[in-house]
Amino acid sequence: MNLKKTTLLASAALTAAGFALGIGVATTPAGAKELKIATFMGPPHFLNKVAFTNLAKAIGKETGGETTAKLFASGQLGKGPVQQYKRVIDNVAEISFGIQGYTPTIFPRTVIVGQPGVGTTAGEITGKLWSVYDKFLMPEYKNVKVLGLWANTPPVIISRTKLVKKLSDVKGMKLRALAPENIPQMNAWGASGIFMPISRTYDALDKGVIDATFTAINALFRPWRFSESSKFVTDGMRKPSAIFWLAMNRKVWDGLPAKSKAAINGLTGQKFSMDTAIGWAKPDVVALARAKKGDVGLKYHVLSKAEAAKFDAATAKSVEAFLAKSEANGIPARAIYAAITK
């Protein structure tokens, strides 16, 4: 076999191996830097299908191919949402996406923005997040290059067992919290707060490991599909919000050409964060309309003012306890909370 034929066969084998792994083969110009974007959600998720896919395309376009980006969804670069920050720090992926509440010891300041009472929409909370970033939050991100920070729509109670109409209805329920720091709110209601990543929640609901989850309403439908086992939705109380990050490995960022840095700075940051928050909130609007009309057998309920007040009084106590604990750990929690709730 001649050398040319051997080389062609080897190239074909490498290409086939790449596609077999589901990662494809880079088609970037010679010498270009390809940035891997790691996420744990499946391809249909809004962030993968829209936000990160569009960002990846824009990076290649705006840098003239000098730097490109490619999305690796569904945990291709490592399973488990809790490990996402470690993956970007260790450069398993040049860019990674995660949830601060899943690693609150790394982000003790940022998770304060996710406490109940900060806002009622993803856009509002995202704006408040950025309003305190420079003064209070920046030290938590010194080891990475921040590309985005945003919130999602505050949650509703999605229950498998019963429609929650009053505070006493949640007593004793096993209720999944958005993040570990939200467990005190569930406990203050009389429920048993349990934290687990959203990727484990479908099975936990379906198998009765938990009775309900406190999650953004779009989780009723694709990609999480909680409505397949949980038909009861309750709204109207004061709520927390999940906060999210998109970040690049610091050394990788420092090594990029100046043109690429300028282009990526123009594509990311506060505007990207706000656009992502608002775009991601659109499925919540659709899901709310479907829940209200009883689609797929759903029953939707808004708490009465009297019952909402009972929930909120218990929530206020849990927030105060959270802030006091954070202050004891040296975090200016009350100053941060005051700045985002004034």
Residue 64's Cβ-side half-sphere holds a number of Cα atoms within 13 Å equal to 5
Q: Which residue has tokens 């057998």?
A: 297
| Dihedral of alpha carbons 340, 309, 241, 321, sign | positive
Residue type, 34: E
> Terminus-to-terminus CA distance in the chain, angstroms?
76
Superfamily (CATH H level) for 156-240+286-341: Bacterial extracellular solute-binding protein, family 7 (3.40.190.170)
What contacts 60, CB < 8 A, 6 or more positions away? 28, 67, 68, 69
- Cα–Cα dist 218/328, whole Å: 36
* Distance of alpha carbon 201 from the chain centroid: 14
Nearest to 59 by CA among 50, 49, 69: 69
Residues in the chain: 342
* Distance of alpha carbon 18 from the chain centroid: 29
Strand partners, 69: 35
Q: What is the pLDDT of residues 138-160, one digit of tens each?
A: 999 999 999 999 999 999 999 99
- Model confidence at 11, pLDDT cuts 50, 70, 90, reads very low
What architecture does CATH give domain 31-152+242-283? 3-Layer(aba) Sandwich (3.40)
Q: Other CB atoms closer than 10 Å to residue 179's CB: what's the count?
A: 20
Using CA atoms, how far residue 269 sits from 59, 63, 264, 297, in Å, is 14, 17, 9, 40
For residue 187, which phi and psi values (nearest 5 degrees)?
A: -65, -35
Q: What is the pLDDT of residues 275-323, one digit of tens each?
A: 999 999 999 999 999 999 999 999 999 999 999 999 999 999 999 999 9
0.85 surpassed by pTM: yes
Nearest to 157 by CA among 260, 299, 57: 299
- Mean pLDDT value across the chain: 92
pLDDT of 3 above 90: no
Q: What is the pLDDT of residue 48?
A: 96
Strand partners, 34: 68
Please tell me what DSSP assigns to residue 140.
G
pLDDT of 240 above 50: yes
Identify the burial level of 332 via C-beta atoms within 10 angstroms of its C-beta, where 0-12 means exposed, 13-18 middle and 19 or more buried: middle
Nearest to 330 by CA among 130, 139, 116: 139
Topology agreement, domain 31-152+242-283 and domain 156-240+286-341: yes
Domain ranges of the chain: 31-152+242-283, 156-240+286-341
